[in-house]
Chains A and B, each alone.
Chain A
Amino acid sequence: GAVVSQHPSRVICKSGTSVKIECRSLDFQATTMFWYRQFPKQSLMLMATSNEGSKATYEQGVEKDKFLINHASLTLSTLTVTSAHPEDSSFYICSARAVSQGLSTEAFFGQGTRLTVV
């Protein structure tokens, strides 16, 4: 199957600093990328949807100035957590999909990034 590479897998940062997470589709063009956050023992929560070359669409309650998403190419999207706080500690997962000819395709997930803010 298609591969989505997410990096880093784990990161520990100090409160107030920024962290960038990369998500790459290795063998297909991802027209849409999704960023999710998952707190322990909870379901995936969609943070934002980004289409290549356009601004991301953020879900209600997600601060777009805090969680900066860039989807500059069909194979790369980045999520930057700015001025991180301990409550931002979570598991962040990206997924990438290619919507072709109006047909829905499965979403391929990155490995996830465990962010710990100390």
Chain B
Amino acid sequence: GQNIDQPTEMTATEGAIVQINCTYQTSGFNGLFWYQQHAGEAPTFLSYNVLDGLEEKGRFSSFLSRSKGYSYLLLKELQMKDSASYLCAVTDSNYQLIWGAGTKLIIKP
């Protein structure tokens, strides 16, 4: 079956760095997405990786290793507004998005 695993909840301190991991097992691979979702709102796009390596975009970076079925989202200089759920999603061979359950990130002052 298809499966995506990510931690349920993480806590970090304002100004610090946090890494959210995602491992996947899917039928085929056509890219991995990270989305941010605040409570009661639709997800917003953060990053897209299809090749191995690190993609940096401001305070957020995303890493992919296809051979290991592994990705992480790195958030630097954490701000209170970064408190949200972070969703990992993989596009399979049929271009369907398979979603992780999301990681709730709690930022403390």
Binding site for B on A (CB under 8 A): 1, 6, 32, 34, 42-46, 49, 91, 93, 95, 97, 99, 104, 106-112, 114
Contacts and interface: CB of A to CB of B under 8 A. Distances in A.
A40 to B, nearest CB: 9
A110 B91 CA distance: 19
Given A43-B99, A46-B99, A109-B45, 16 more contacts: A1-B45, A6-B42, A42-B101, A44-B87, A44-B99, A45-B99, A104-B91, A104-B95, A107-B89, A108-B45, A109-B42, A109-B44, A110-B42, A111-B41, A111-B42, A112-B41
Contact of A43 (B31, B50, B102): B102
Contacts of A111: 41-42
Interface of B: 30-31, 33, 40-45, 48, 50, 87, 89, 91, 95-97, 99-102
Main DSSP-derived SS at the A contact region: strand
Contacts of B89: 107
A49 B91 CA distance: 13
Given A108-B45, A109-B44, A43 B33 contact: no
Contacts of A99: 95
B96 A104 contact: no
Contacts of A44: 43, 87, 99, 102
